[in-house]
Structure 1
């Protein structure tokens, strides 16, 4: 497949990541965004355009600049939504799109879909089946990514529910899969989200949408924190599961402590939906409030007796501790005097000085070959 010339004029270099972490090695767009936009070309004009997985607005705003309007957009991360909105204002393109959850309202009647390929095959399968079930029969999907993050298994996932999958030539270490001929019947058979599994060690049901970290399994860091969770501020009446993922820690706290009120917060739409399903599956939905939030932005100062946290140490493909440090600062603000932040972290990252500085006196609770659990007390 030949690559059409790039539409001139869109200022990709003006896009920014804020309110997400910004650093010299972190970028708001890349060559995969440009290749998707170039291959889609003027097909984005004329209505029925959907954009999925746009990190900071490059796909949406390049299409809007080309003449697209009424664009429906789904971004998993709240910081991505806010970056798109800020970039749209900077470029005078606000009002050309609207945010949607990952459901049939996003893709119903879609004619063209621009998709940044997610790393997770389950996430890709959930998106692909949704499109195949609800988009137009003549829909075309331009699904792209950087070569280092793409596998042939992605082609197979798409081929499960689409009749045609064409692979573009590579350009600047990026590639696009152009997909068409959806099979709604096959998609219905494969539509299985949220998935649900019983964790034998904890006795908890774990529910997960495709993009949720660790799926229906319990990652080893969380499992170490779970093993000591009963010791975490036993007298607590309010707790927060910060960066809750599938909500395992929130549900474990609520199941083990019937008097405890728990807030589970994450900026990922898939995580929030998963955590709500996990709480419901474990019979504690009335005591676990699930919030999509940028850290703890919506939580009042000095309002939590206990915060539990398994922080990420990647931003996209880059190892970066910036998110963790922001979460520590949020925890320090939201903890009540005498409250504690219980954190599990990869031992090599050496977070203890940052926890001491940002939250308060920190002690080690548990450690294995890879992870450390600490408790930081707010003065």
Structure 2
């Protein structure tokens, strides 16, 4: 087996850049805090949640754990873990699972990278309390600047004891134990919005769904302008989130089908639920994918995108640029990419370069809507 070195882990196929890392101080602190428990754990008793690129999972295996179960919301993260496992000789020693009993049944130790949203933390905590061994210990780590007292409040709803460890390299670990009765699952979240359709647009979301069940302000600005678009039979919602764009396209164009794609498992589940809630589930196909990697070159004529501008907690344009390039690859000549983006990001040059000639459809102080045409 190759010598294991956390610093050698890569983010690929995720965006790689000098200021983006596959392992951070929180990963290291979690592994050090769990070291003794990992060495004495039995097979199948350890679960890892929120591992970005494999550092926690492979670090736990290196420390002595066996049969580690892993949940990563991002398919890109799953693929990065798999690539790092192959490189470091850990193939076949962990299993990837959805957020549920397959992940937590019988588990006595959970290593958790604290998520960005309180809703995501609550859904994870609910599942642990409902499905893990009653004696489970949860080690939840994060960067101090991103940790809020409300995180402890959420954990206290599901565990009898929650304590905070000492900070190290600007990271800290919360330890939760003593599972409480979790009550009914509070997910999916539900909301309705007036978007000038005969009925309100019904949105559904799970804990890790970006933006929850809210109508993103950029999407709200985009939707009325999509009435001027002319998809011919089929459309793609790239980065579908809670499914608001996919459902709107299907509702306003009864003759088309929509393929909605996202790397997030929570987004895929939410989009399916949103489509069903709006009565268009039969015309919205939802796919978990890294960008548009499963789609062939030059096969699509209409794509809609509201791109993210964060990679984890880091503001970074790399993900948006990756999605622009994917759209440029799969669009057929004459096909269009409709995009809404934060005006200060000035993406027009990148869209011209990666997709094709780009015109502005609308702009306000916060957002810009553009259409980019594939020419060849």
Identify the TM-score tier after normalising by the shorter chain.
over 0.9
Q: How far, CA to CA, are the matches of 2:347 and 2:106 in structure 1?
A: 48
Distance 1:215 1:94 in 2: 34
Q: 1:154 aligns to what SS in structure 2?
A: helix
C-alpha displacement at 1:326, in angstroms? 1.1
Which residue number in structure 2 is paired with residue 188 of structure 1? 183
Q: Does the aligned pair in 2 maintain the 1:237–1:305 contact within 8 Å?
A: no
Equivalent positions of 1:74-113 (< 5 A) are 74-113=71-110
How many residues are treated as equivalent by the alignment?
A: 367
User: SS of the counterpart of 2:341?
Assistant: strand
Show the 5 A alignment for 1:141-156: 141-156=138-153
Selected match of 1:15 from 9, 26, 33: 9
Name the structure 2 match of 1:366.
362
The farther-off stretch of 314-323 and 152-161 is 314-323
Q: Distance in 1 between matches of 2:355 and 2:346?
A: 15
Instruction: Determine if the alignment matches structure 1 residue 220 to structure 2 residue 220.
Output: no
Which whole-Å deviations, capped at 9, do the CAs of 1:279-328 have from their partners, x for residues lacking one?
11111111100000010011122222210000011111222111111111
Q: What is the CA-CA distance between 1:10 and the residue it aligns to?
A: 5.1
Superposed counterparts of 1:58-77, under 5 Å:
58-77=55-74
Is 1:318 the counterpart of 2:314? The answer is yes
CA distance in 2, matches of 1:23, 1:357: 20
Counterpart Cα distance in 1 of 2:188 and 2:295 = 27
Q: Please point out which of 109, 112, 124 is paired with 1:115.
A: 112
Cα distance between partner residues in 2 of 1:201 and 1:139:
45
Does the aligned pair in 1 maintain the 2:202–2:278 contact within 8 Å?
A: yes
| CA RMSD across the alignment | 1.1
Match of 1:37 in 2: 31
**1:53 paired residue number:** 50
Partners of 2:119 and 2:228 in 1: how far apart? Answer: 35
Q: Does 1:237 align with 2:229?
A: no
Distance 2:100 2:272 in 1: 16
d(CA) in 2 for partners of 1:106, 1:336: 41
List per-residue Cα deviations over 1:6-44 (Å, max 9, x = no partner).
xxx851111110000111111111111111111111312
Structure 1: 5+ residue runs without aligned partners?
1-8
The answer as to 2:129 corresponding to 1:135 is no
Deviations for 1:182-238, whole angstroms, at most 9, x for unmatched residues? Answer: 012xx123x1111111113351100000111111111111111112111112x5211
The answer to whether the Cα contact below 8 Å between 2:116 and 2:313 also exists between their aligned partners in 1 is no
The equivalent of 1:205 in structure 2 is: 202
Q: In structure 2, what is the equivalent of residue 3 of structure 1?
A: none
Alpha-carbon distance in structure 2 between the residues aligned to 1:272 and 1:17: 22
Q: Is the 8 A contact 1:212 1:274 kept in 2?
A: yes
Aligned to 1:270: 266
C-alpha distance in 2, partners of 1:212/1:372?
23
1:344 counterpart SS class: strand
CA distance in 1, matches of 2:4, 2:299: 45
Q: 4+ residue stretches of structure 1 with deviation over 6 A?
A: none
3-state SS in 1 of match to 2:336: strand
| TM-score (norm. length: structure 1) | 0.95
Match of 1:173 in 2: 170
1:39 and 1:361 map into 2 onto residues whose CA distance is 53
Query: Would you say the 8 A contact 2:100–2:131 is kept in 1?
Result: no
Which residue in 2 is equivalent to 1:260? 256
Q: Distance in 2 between matches of 1:108 and 1:130?
A: 10
Determine helix, strand or coil for the equivalent of 2:248: helix
SS class of match (1:363): strand
